[in-house]
Structure 1
Amino acid sequence: MIERVSSAPKVPYATTLLVRDCCLCLHVQRAARTLARRFDEALRPFNLTNGQFSLMMSLNRPQPAGMASVAALLAVDRTTLTAALKPLERRGLIKVMADPADRRSRLLALTDEGADLLERAVPTWEKTHQEVEAGLPDGDPDRLRKNLIALS
């Protein structure tokens, strides 16, 4: 027999169903986790997660990037970014260096090895991305992108 903790729900069960069916936050989180798993699997042959791929891609620029700009692009705090950088730095894929203009600040850059790995991984990302877009029920990835950007 299942023992109930409280005598009656304080929030009607109909509200639970409404949240389940309508909550944008819940549905975006579920979609994000599903997409993350799909891209993690696709990028596994490169020993990268989707987050690591995105982080490395954010460093794919002509000049080293400041931590604040990368954290803002990836919508993470600096502590989370610092933790995410460590395994990539240990693998020699990125370099973290002092900013010559302000020794307290750090600049981030891809190493040659990191750029090579990114170059090999991009076709897999492109293929997976095309498959995801093709699977959208309304066939309009640009509309979805615009709506997600508006929410972020």
Structure 2
Amino acid sequence: MMESTLHEAAEAYIEHLRSQGKTERTLYTYNKDLQQIEAFFGAERKLTSILVPHVGKFFKSDALLKMPNGKERAKPTVDKTKRVLRMFLIWAKETGRIDKLPLPKGTRMGRSVKKGDKNNDEHSRQSAPTPAQA
């Protein structure tokens, strides 16, 4: 498995999106979302150390739900940031940067994971806490 920091993986993900022909506007907005994610988790944090409870905390955090001035972020904005994180983590798993998707149970998988895809099935299985986690 390729050990990388959140920042290194985020940069590689943006390059992947660029190679897929994403527009500059999309790259800019995804980069902004990833910067917000890095600010919460820490840019130098090892990607493999981000676990389900950490992502769950981010999904409930003021870092995601509020703007720097304290006002609530719009739901579509929050949903987009969650979607970017989800797609980034799926990409990280597909490219061997992480072994398991650290997404909380009930995280909507969206279109990037097809029905019957082993990643999707794996996600639903791994979401339940193991006896050691309970």
Per the normalisation by structure 1, the TM-score is: 0.30
Higher share of residues assigned helix: 1
Bigger RCO of structures 1 and 2 (CA < 8 A, at least 6 apart): 2
Per the normalisation by structure 2, the TM-score is: 0.32
Higher share of residues assigned strand: 1
